[in-house]
Amino acid sequence: MSSPLQPGLRVEDVSLTYRTAHRPVFQNLSFDLSKGGRLALLGRNGQGKSTLIKLLGGIMSPSSGRISWGMSQSWPIGFNGGFQGSLSGLDNIRFLARIYGRDFTEVRERVDDFAELGRSLRLPVRHYSSGMRARLAFGLSLAIEFDCYLIDELVAVGDARFQRKCQYELFEQRANRAFLMASHDTGLIQSNCDRALLIEGGKAKVFEDINEAVEIYKWLRTA
């Protein structure tokens, strides 16, 4: 039985270097995320925020180091590679419900209510726009329920009303869940995260003060 002090996520000395690259994307990256913790991923474009989320979600494997989960984690919300494009939205829902041992009818109803895709759920996912895919991914994550949500800019999807709906479902209805969120929206970060991991030049630093992290990130963006 795991200790209550055991973190929900532990990343130990993780490095990633692409075979065709001369410099590592990450080097000796280490941090913990507690159960119920909210960690922001900050960094300029191209620094590897989305890549790290894919590593944590099991989409990619690190070159070295270890990623250990002690809680259930979502697939990377906002990453469009998780669906079978030749299948309809409904068939993708059926497939994932089966994998996670959930009732298909219940999951379908919850996804349909949240994602607001209507008859489009009967179309092959390859015909979806990126926004429609993101709605489907978000809806599925909320329908299946996870201890930790991996978020990659998804809350920017849709109109203002849908964005408010996303934020309410994720940050208020699931206030006791853990989050690891990459976003350029510093207001959203400061409102919903309590720590930050700032990535720059293949290295990362954990900040316990979210406001300090945001100020440094803003400085890097204008430098």
Structural domains of the chain, with CATH: 1-74+152-159+180-223 (3.40.50.300)
The pLDDT value given to residue 120? 94
CA atoms of 150 and 173, how far apart (whole Å): 16
Beta partners for residue 180, in sequence order: 39, 150
Q: List Cα–Cα distances, 209 to 14, 108, 189, in angstroms.
A: 23, 40, 12
CA atoms of 89 and 122, how far apart (whole Å): 6
| pTM assigned to the model | 0.85
The pLDDT value given to residue 166? 83
CA atoms of 66 and 136, how far apart (whole Å): 30
Residue 53 burial (CB count, 10 A): 24
The pLDDT value given to residue 2? 43
Q: What is the DSSP letter of 215?
A: H
With beta carbons less than 8 A apart as the criterion, state whether 76 and 150 touch. yes
Q: Which residues of the chain fall short of a pLDDT of 50?
A: 1-4
Structure tokens at 61: 């494997």
The pLDDT value given to residue 154? 59
